[in-house]
Structures are given as structure tokens and as C-alpha cells.
Chain A
């Protein structure tokens, strides 16, 4: 069978069931043996504003998204307006025939600036600023409009309730039918998704049936996608991944104050606090459960997590930019008092409230410098959903081993991205405890006797010791003695040298792709996947490229990075921020200045096609910086 590579978007009003659609379509493709990767884009709004899922389906695991789309499903007219630029040759545009004629000026949920931009595009090209004009615009660019009588199809099988409540199921089923997925998989998805709302299963199944019949009657189905052999897989987001990793890594205390896109992680942990064990024997050892606390604010979230950590439990909090700003003082405390603490920092578009539901990578420099004074910390970042799992475990281990705050960066793009993870290797990352004291006699919490800077830890409930955010002596009492001050500062920083020695280089940085390359990309976070796809695209055109992929920013893998960059022919830095924050960190550590960059700060996910276009422009030496703009 030929290569399957389908890009599709399902859009509709926020609160109109886009998540369910995304889940249903992903699952149905997955049951048929395909792999799905999808990003959720949404406004900071509960009901009405444009919201969509952008996905890609392949035989192998997709790593990125791309435009133009193969299928655009519009559950409302706003979706048509918002995505006129996302269609190309042969894009199927599925929409409700009743949208025909709807005017852009009446689209209440599109802000004036966006509507103005779309209107300008349509009018400048001679199209009317309404659905009819927009459909024509897309058709003239190769799109294939497929108007569907949504209401008629739904009411033919569902006699009660509001028909529009089924539009997401209908749109999803039509998508699946047109893409050649067997009906049984669509039905199975419905049964699983609505398992807890059994009452609505039959009517949704009826709508699926009606959708398949409509597609059949109107001969809209093209190819048939055969069922492929597939193993059990997890369909999870970065929020899920981090939650899974934390539970596996022994986290038993988590705090949070609600904030997008971080709080889902905490509720996911709470929903899964009833842990299943690898063996019967384990279950006897380990019962008790995880405490998850929604606190009064982020000041409490982090300090409560620290308080818990002092009893020996693995503890963490999760937040995003605004909450992290509030946590700064306590991060400094955790550094000073050598508290094993993990903060999962979900990055969204800043500054201030910024783009609360959109992507960003603008908190790297902040994470490296949060808190007053000088203290050691570890800062690591994940680049795909699977990495979120293992990095969450590692973060907990590092915190215990080095007794310091560990900041785990995950961008919004991973937090809300559904990915298929074939297998979680329970042996890949161990769960290692830090050094603890047993005897209480003459216990010095901040003993200066240890070469590696790590003093054996005591815990509240077992040992008597003192702690203070003031500079302290070995016992933990306040001191301003000049010699002790120097030695304590040096002891704390020794731990970062120890970490540098102990943490394997491959956990901190990787050179992906061939050693010998014309272009060396540099990135971190969620651009990893799209860049790896771009590297393959470039290879087809005879251009050799590789990727210097950064995972740990503190301790920074200086020598390795310097070595790769100084030998590279052309270096292109790719980041979702305006300042090129990682390139600044690189320059600070290595002295190497990266000249070419591809940046994006409109809050939307980077797509394969736009990175490819941009890098070609850079190779053509037309410019040194390209700002990417894809995304509705």
C-alpha cells in the first residue's frame, strides 16, 4: 500500500466538542492501525471562540504537522474564515451547507483585527467577505468543497434534542468515512469515548451510520485504508506524559493552583491516584496513594510542596509563567536550603498573561535565573510527549540526588499534543533515592564534610535538625560568619559540578542525524519533531542536515555544544520566542554566536512546511532571520 500521510483540521466553536472530535478521529485511525499526532489550538475562552485540532496521520509515528491540509472540517462558519490560507491542491473542505452566504461581518466570535485581515485578503483578490466567497477562494486554490446538510443528516436518525450537539460526531464520522476508515472503528471510538455517558452512545452511533451512508451514496469516499497490524499504544498528551512519569518516579505529593496549560497535569494525577502495581508484591509495599492539593495561590503551591519535601516525600508543583513568577522567592529558598523539589514549568506565550492558551518558549532565561541570589539548580526540557514521561522521572531523581530545585520545561505545544507512545519502558529510568542519614546523633543537615557537596539528608519525623532561608551553619542555624558563608556558598555550587560529572552527556544534549552536514539546526522543546522531518525533506533534495538538540540548560553541556558548533558549516537556531533565548545561553557558555535563526512568537505551533521554506531562504542567504507566521 502506498504511503499514508494525511493532514487534517477539525474546527468549531470552543465548547462545541472539538476535543471529542479530536479524540474520536485519533482513536478511529489508531484502531485501524495508523499513528496520529495532533495539536490543540484554542482561545482563552469557554464557549464560542474558534478552536481547532490540527492532526497528521501516518503509518509510522508522525513527528510534526504541516500545511496545506488534506481535509478541513468546519463545524462552524468561523472555521472557514480562519483557515482560508491552510488549503491547497485537493484539500477537501467539509462544511455545513447552511453556512453558505454567512457574512464575515456577522462572525461575532472573530476579533475585529482577525476579521479585518481575512476581509482584506478576500477583497483584495476579488472575493466576497462571506462563506461563499471564502469557499470560492479556497476552491480557486485547488480546494474541493464538500457541502453537507448537517441538520438533515442528524435529524434523519436522531429525533430528540438539539441536532447541533451531534455536529462534532457527524463531522468526525464524515472525515473518517472520506479518509477510508472502516465504520466499525468510528463506532468503537464512540463507545469508548462515551463509556461514562452510556445514554448518548446509541444516538451517536446512529449519526456515525448516517454519515457513512451519506458518504457512500454521494460517492465521496476515495481510497480505503486497510487495517494494519498494531500493538497496544498509549494515546497521551504532554500533560499525561509528565503525570505518568511523576507517578512512576515515586511522586506522592503534588500541589497546584489552576492555570493553563499546567493544571491538567495535576488533575490527571489525581484521577490516577489509584495506582496499579507491576506485581502483587509491590502492591503490598506501596499502597497509600498520592496527595494532590489545589492551593490558594502559587506562593502556597510551591511552599507547600517544599514543606512536604522536608518529610522525605517526592514532591512537586506544576505551573506556567504567571504562577512561576510568583514562585521565584521560594525557588531561591529551595536552592539555599537544599530542598529536593521539582517544578514543572509549562511554557505559554508571555509576557504577563500574554497568550494564555498558546505556545511559547520565552521562559528559558527566566527559569535559569528565577529567584534572588546565587544558588545551583537543574533546568531540563522535553522535546516530545514520550520524553515528558522519562524526564519527569529523571527530574525527581536529580532533585533527590543533588538536593536542589529542578525545573522541568514543557511547552504548551507538548502539553496539549496527543501523541501515540508505543511502549513505556519501566526499566529505562530507575528510581534512585538520595543519601539519607539514619542515626540522629550529632546530625548536621548541612555537613561540610562531603567532597561532592551533597550532605546526607534527614527528614522531619525521623531526625531533629533546623533549616533557615538565612545563611546557616552545618546545623542549620543562622550565621553571618564570613568563613562559613564562603564555605556554604562553595558547597552548594559543588553539587552542580557533581551533577555535571554524573549526569550522562546524552541526557543533556544530542546530535541527531548525520555527523557531516551542510546545515546544523539548533533547537529545544517541541520543534524537535518538525525539524527531524525537515531534515528528511532536505535529504530528499540532496541537502545534508543535522540537529543539535538541547535537553539540559543547567548544568550546560558547554564543551559538546562548542565542539559541534565550531565545526558546523552553517548553524540555524530554531525557537518559539523573539530573543532566541537558547542561542543567548549558548553564546554565554561557549562564546559561539549563531547568525541564522528561525523564530516564531505568534503562539501557534511550528509546522514542517514553514521551517522547510524558511531554512531554504536562509540557505539562499537572502536573510539571516525568518519569523514564522503559520496558524489560525
Chain B
């Protein structure tokens, strides 16, 4: 019988929250990918978005505000055979966890990072998030936002994410396909999800987005994929992706911006030093004899420290 990726835990998001669309797209994507449910792990930070793992019928951990990426990286590096999802808010990933977001691009561990982009701090009652534009005043701000916004697509591209995409919570079908592609991508993926927060963001509403979004894949010539065979197009495709990433106020592109398959993920870089890394990863190594003794010969391992 097909595994049901949605468990029976009651969801406590506000009615009309875009987060519901993400859970739908995610559970559908997981169902279609036909993975062993034991092999998929959800890791979140803190925020409304952070609650996601509790609603999925896979193992998950709801960690600390901003730290979902390093937790997830730890899971993935200890067991590279797992598929590790990160579900995080824009405050979580772009502000308190921004350093990890950048570092993950450099590592390219192979995480699928889903950014719940609502431009506000939902769970702390609507303060400005890093994706809210300068001068905007959403409902609960006492005065207009004094910070410029960060651009998740541009930041992901320049940090080194090898798969960069954007979805919209009201287009579950497209989002599902993007999530599937992101999970199948070997390196790290950033999926920026336009997620209306009806409770606190009265500017970037569902309708506001609907009037602006268009799909990159609808442009016939759009081809974001870089492989070893067309690696000479890398710079051109990166620049195109970047320029698309800058589009915003009038028209907002969704779909896959960049899909570079030529950068080895961190796990493969590790394999160079540890040849049996994938077949015998840290998580499954035998570390003691049946009677509970060490297997390691300390003196031979540290021969360079021995005085004879």
C-alpha cells in the first residue's frame, strides 16, 4: 500500500495560510517519488514554517531558530543515503540563519531547502522579515520597514546552490514538480516559495502574487540545465538565472532558474578521502566487538606518536 505522507497530527496554521499549499505539494511529491519513507527526513527551524515536520509521516526534527541547515547537514553527512529536506521561514533562513544558508551553498551537501517566503515573522506576530521590501508597512509594523530586502534567488546563486527555483503556494502542481526536481538533484537545492501570510502580510497577498507570477518553463527557449556536455554554457545560464532573479515588482518569475549538475556535492568530496563512505557511512559503522570492546588499535593508529 502506498505510504501516506501526511500523518494525523492536527495542523494549527491560520485558515488560508500559504503553508497548507506547501504541505500538499510536498506530500504529493514524496508520494510520486516513490522513496522508502524511512529514507526521507524533514528538518525545520522555528516559526510557523518550522512546524511542518510534525505534519509529515516521515522522521523529522523541529530544531532551533536559524539552525535547520546545519542540523540537516549533520544528518546527511552521517548518512549520505538519506534524502534530507529543510523547511524554514524567511526569518529563519535569511536572517538568523543566513550564515548557514551561505555556507550550505559552498558545501552543496545535497539538501533540499524549502524557503517559506512570507516576508514576515509569522510566529512572532508579523515583524518584518528579510524578504520584505524597504518602505513597505505590513499590518503589524509600527512604521514602514527600514531595511532593504534580500533576494533569495540571487543570494542562493551567488552562494553556490546548484539548483535554484521558485514556486507559489497556490500552484501546487508546479510546486510539487519543482520539489521533485530539487530532491532528485544531487547537490543542494533552494526552492523559494511565495507563501502568502493572510494574517500579517496584507501587501503580498495571494491576489497580489497571482497578478504577477509567470512560469519560466512557459518560455520555449528557457533551459536552465548545465551538464558536463554543455558546461561552456555555465556562465551564460548563471547570468540569465541571476537576471531573472532580479525581476520582481511587475512580473515575478517562477519555475527552475538554474540547475547545474557539474559541481560535486560535499558527500562526493568526502568520498575522495573516505573511499567506503557511501557503502559504510558513519551512521552504520560497527564500532565495538560483540562483547563491547573497542576495535581500534590506538598505538598502531597513532604510530607517529610512538617512542621506540
Q: Are chains A and B native binding partners rather than an unrelated pairing?
A: yes
Are A461's CB and B287's CB within 8 A? no
Are A233's CB and B307's CB within 8 A? yes
* Residue in chain A with minimal CB distance to B96: A299
| Most central of B58, B73, B294, B300 by chain A CB within 10 Å | B294
Interface size of A in residues (CB-CB distance below 8 Å): 83
Q: Which residues of B contact A290 (CB under 8 A)?
A: 274, 282
A407 to chain B, nearest CB (A): 18
Binds A, one of B49-57, B148-156, B243-251: B49-57
A397 CA to B14 CA in the complex, in Å? 45
Does any Cβ of A come within 8 Å of B143's Cβ? no
A300 CA to B41 CA in the complex, in Å? 19
Does any Cβ of B come within 8 Å of A532's Cβ? no
Q: Which residues of B contact A252 (CB under 8 A)?
A: 78, 282, 285, 287
Q: Which residues of A contact B300 (CB under 8 A)?
A: 276
Are B74's CB and A315's CB within 8 A? yes
Are A296's CB and B99's CB within 8 A? yes
Q: Which residues of B contact A247 (CB under 8 A)?
A: 296, 298, 301
Does any Cβ of A come within 8 Å of B2's Cβ? no
Please encode chain A, from 106 to 134, with 1 for each CB lying within 8 Å of some chain B CB and 0 for all others: 00000000000000000000000000000
Are A311's CB and B78's CB within 8 A? yes
Please encode chain B, from 252 to 292, with 1 for each CB lying within 8 Å of some chain A CB and 0 for all others: 00000000000000000010011011011111111111011
Are A431's CB and B307's CB within 8 A? no
- B158-203 residues at the A interface, CB under 8 angstroms: none
Are A288's CB and B274's CB within 8 A? yes
Are A291's CB and B62's CB within 8 A? no
Are B301's CB and A244's CB within 8 A? yes
A26 CA to B4 CA in the complex, in Å? 65
Binds B, one of A95-103, A279-287, A604-612: A279-287
Are A307's CB and B283's CB within 8 A? no
- A208-260 residues at the B interface, CB under 8 angstroms: 230, 232-236, 240, 244, 247-250, 252-253, 255
B77 to chain A, nearest CB (A): 6
Q: A273-B274, A460-B82 are in contact. Are A234 and B301 (CB under 8 A)?
A: no
Are B295's CB and A277's CB within 8 A? yes
Does any Cβ of A come within 8 Å of B132's Cβ? no
Are A313's CB and B282's CB within 8 A? yes
Does any Cβ of B come within 8 Å of A375's Cβ? no
B69 to chain A, nearest CB (A): 8
Does any Cβ of A come within 8 Å of B59's Cβ? yes
Are B294's CB and A293's CB within 8 A? no
Candidates B57, B62, B73, B285; contact of A464 at CB < 8 Å: B57
B285 to chain A, nearest CB (A): 5
Are A432's CB and B292's CB within 8 A? yes
Can you report 22 A-B residue pairs in the complex whose CB atoms are below 8 A from each other? A249-B287, A249-B294, A250-B287, A252-B287, A276-B296, A293-B77, A299-B66, A300-B103, A307-B73, A310-B75, A314-B287, A315-B78, A333-B63, A337-B61, A424-B298, A426-B294, A426-B297, A426-B298, A432-B292, A459-B283, A466-B59, A477-B54
